[in-house]
Amino acid sequence: MERLIPSQKQLKNFIMTKIKPFTIVVTGGLGFIGSRFIKYVYDNTVHNIINIDKHTYAADPARIPEHITEDEERYTFLKLDVCSNDLCKYPEVVGADYVVNFAAESHVDNSIEDGTPFMNTNFMGVYNLLETFKNAPNLRRFVQISTDEVYGDMADLRGEQEADESYPLKPSSYYSAAKASADLLVQSCARTFGIPYLITRTCNNFGPGQDPEKFLPKIAKSIREGEAVPVYGDGNQAREWMFVDENVEIIYGLMLIIEENGIYNIGTGYRCTNNEVIGMISKAMGQEVKYKYVKDRLGHDKRYALNCDKVSKKLLLDTYYPLSLSQYIKDTYNPDIIEAHVI
């Protein structure tokens, strides 16, 4: 789904036009958000991209369009684990101008079953990247992609508060604990070794190419197969939602414009419960979507909410009107698209 959002022209006027092409290392570039970041950078800049991905079950090479993969001058793919010591064997990697780390295990259910891969990739992988790039000669910024889940459950004795960047970290799962730990690693590396960094904490993303195990694609799959959509607990867990292409555009803008190390929340203020998502899809399809309540996830957070005043002021997003989840569902969830496996 292609969409020119109102903020794009503003961002380009300030930061998108660069005479000198940089080399950007993107880890986890075959994943949902990482692949959209690569597409955005390739289509809107002259920069060179090195995509590093281990190619796990959640990776899909088809997420990278052919016009990118066929451009051997600007795009390179390396099948590597972020935990691998082989990273330092590639001069073009170590000599990069920017590193953007999307590589992560992110399915919370899997972290409950076995947290080991989450500790390896989300924590030790970040440590290995920092060790690789802490003395890199050309590094302008190490970008760590984090999550709103590091703040924990905002409904946990906290009323209707929103988390700003100074909010205490209180992760609830091995996944979010590993991400929070990685954030601290990045900050400690900056303090000790002087690595320049940006940490972004983003809410739930939606958009093309999302992993089948995630909530929205899982609903589409259940509809296709005539099965009831499984909904955890009472379905009243509230999440903040953002269109993936808007998220990666803001990440790119921050990466280039900030002069000091910093943490930035990226969100929309658009929040809804899982029950409300089911209702939106039912309305969009003109039919009732079957669902069933199942045993709640262990440690399941009830509410996430971000305060994003900092990024709004930094990127002058006063006229930024995000694509709402309800509009995306209205545009996307119809019987023809569902049957075509587009989502």
**pLDDT digit string, tens, across residues 129-184:** 999 999 999 999 999 999 999 999 999 865 678 999 999 999 999 999 999 999 99
Name which of 27, 22, 15 is nearest 144 in CA terms: 27
Asked whether the predicted pLDDT for residue 18 surpasses 50, the reply is no
Close Cβ partners of 240 (under 8 Å, ≥ 6 residues apart): 148, 203, 204, 267, 268, 269, 270, 271, 304, 305, 306
Residue 57's pLDDT is what? 87
Whether the Cβ atoms of residue 239 and residue 249 lie closer than 8 Å to each other = no
Interval 33-37 mean pLDDT? 98
Whether the Cβ atoms of residue 180 and residue 152 lie closer than 8 Å to each other = no
* C-alpha span between 343 and 333 (Å, rounded): 8
Band of the pLDDT at 3, cuts 50, 70, 90? very low
**pLDDT digit string, tens, across residues 237-254:** 999 999 999 999 999 999
- Indicate if 296 belongs to the active site: no
Q: How many CB atoms lie within 10 A of CB 149?
A: 25
pTM of the model: 0.91
Options 40, 175, 264, 291, the catalytic residue: 175
Do the bridges between strand 238-243 and strand 271-273 make them parallel or antiparallel, or are there none, so unpaired? Answer: antiparallel
**pLDDT digit string, tens, across residues 186-221:** 999 999 999 999 999 999 999 999 988 888 888 888
Options 53, 81, 105, 149, the catalytic residue: 149
- Indicate if 72 belongs to the active site: no
Residue 302's pLDDT is what? 95
Question: Which position has the token pair 């090479």?
Answer: 61
Q: How many CB atoms lie within 10 A of CB 36?
A: 25
Asked whether the predicted pLDDT for residue 236 surpasses 90, the reply is yes
Edge-first strand order for the sheet with 204-206 is: 204-206, 238-243, 271-273
**pLDDT digit string, tens, across residues 44-101:** 999 999 999 999 888 999 999 999 999 999 999 999 999 999 999 999 999 999 999 9
Band of the pLDDT at 6, cuts 50, 70, 90? very low
**pLDDT digit string, tens, across residues 299-339:** 999 999 999 999 999 998 776 789 999 999 988 877 655 45
Give the CA radius of gyration of the chain.
Answer: 19
Whether the Cβ atoms of residue 209 and residue 60 lie closer than 8 Å to each other = yes
- Indicate if 240 belongs to the active site: no
Domain boundaries, the chain: 6-206+243-267+303-320
Close Cβ partners of 229 (under 8 Å, ≥ 6 residues apart): 218, 219, 222, 223, 278, 289, 290, 291, 292
Band of the pLDDT at 110, cuts 50, 70, 90? confident
- Fold annotation for 6-206+243-267+303-320: Rossmann fold (3.40.50)
Residue 4's pLDDT is what? 43
Band of the pLDDT at 10, cuts 50, 70, 90? low
